[in-house]
Amino acid sequence: MQPRNMSMSGVVDLAAVKAAAEAKAKAEQARADAARQAAEGGAPAAGGAVSPSALVIDVDEAGFERDVLQLSSEVPVILDFWAEWCQPCKQLSPLLERLVVEANGRLVMAKIDVDANQLLMQQFGIQGIPAVFAVVAGQVLPLFQGVAPEQEIRATLAQLVQVAEERFGIIGIPVDANAEGGAPGGAAAAEAPAGPHDALLEAAVSALDAGDLAGAVRAYGNVLAEDPANTEAKLGLAQAELLARVKGMNPQAVRAKAAENPKDPQAQIDAADLDMAGGHVQDAFGRLVDAVRVTAGDDRNAVRVRLLELFEVIGADDPRVSAARTALSRALF
């Protein structure tokens, strides 16, 4: 069985934008604090840095609550159900271990021997091994069963990290890169200084919290005026602008017009905004790619520009953006 992509629909749902923005801000602030502490030679506030070897642990039924459920409030925990006699497990487990260590504290792997932990196997409803789950903030997410290509597993884990950060503000645990040979990216990654725009970002989030979309747009714009590469501000600005555009729309009328006028660029743009604000990300992208195919000149360019703007709502590193960029290129050329 291939890895099952985790659903991220609703990432920009109107009711969830505020929570997502706050979780993102929390994650960025925690990462900046950890980087600053590492640069100053201090210990992290919670628990201290761990060695790379501590990122892969063996877990049994007795320690499951402590080693998995409680830990999942700090870092996503990958559950690898395996057995000594399972040949596919011997292929998958080393790959998972390597990818977890490469994640440099953003993931932890918990290995569970099904022969010694039959109760856990039953509770998770496992029919075959290897079977891989994730636990984030106490919530269990089935990932995949069986062996799959590294690229697909890597993409699944990347989505998991993104969900943990953006929905829960969980950024992982600090790793001591000097312990036991170090982990990839450890010391160099820790040297990034804290951003100087915390007050401006806080003002933007506060404006969004208060429903002041125009104020949020201005505040995020102020951050970008001083720091054009600030990814959090780019994300927040795109979300605030989207919410401002759809605020006065009549969804039923907008969708009816789009259905009746598939070649009307503005009708498709408005409907795509509604799709995006409702969390239907792929519908929004697909609608605009289709509109690019049937329009030309200024109309086509307007559709293309709006699609690029919607990419910013969820961030350029989202796999759905990569897929939509490919589809857009094919539609254009």
Residues acting as catalytic residues: 86, 89
Half-sphere exposure of 144 (CA within 13 A, CB side): 21
Helix 231-246 × helix 213-226 angle, to 10°: 150
CA distance 161 to 304: 29
Cα separations in angstroms, 184 against 24, 51, 78, 100, 176: 24, 12, 19, 11, 11
d(CA 125, CA 147): 18
* Tokens read off for 200: 């401006």
Dist CA 116 CA 20 (whole Å): 39
* Per-residue exposure over 168-195, b if at least 16 CB sit within 10 Å of its own CB, e if not: bbbbbbbbbbeeeebbeebeebbeeeeb
For tokens 């640069």, name the residue.
Answer: 39
- What crossing angle do the helices spanning 198-209 and 213-226 adopt, rounded to 10°? 160
Distance CA(51)–CA(62), nearest Å, equals 24
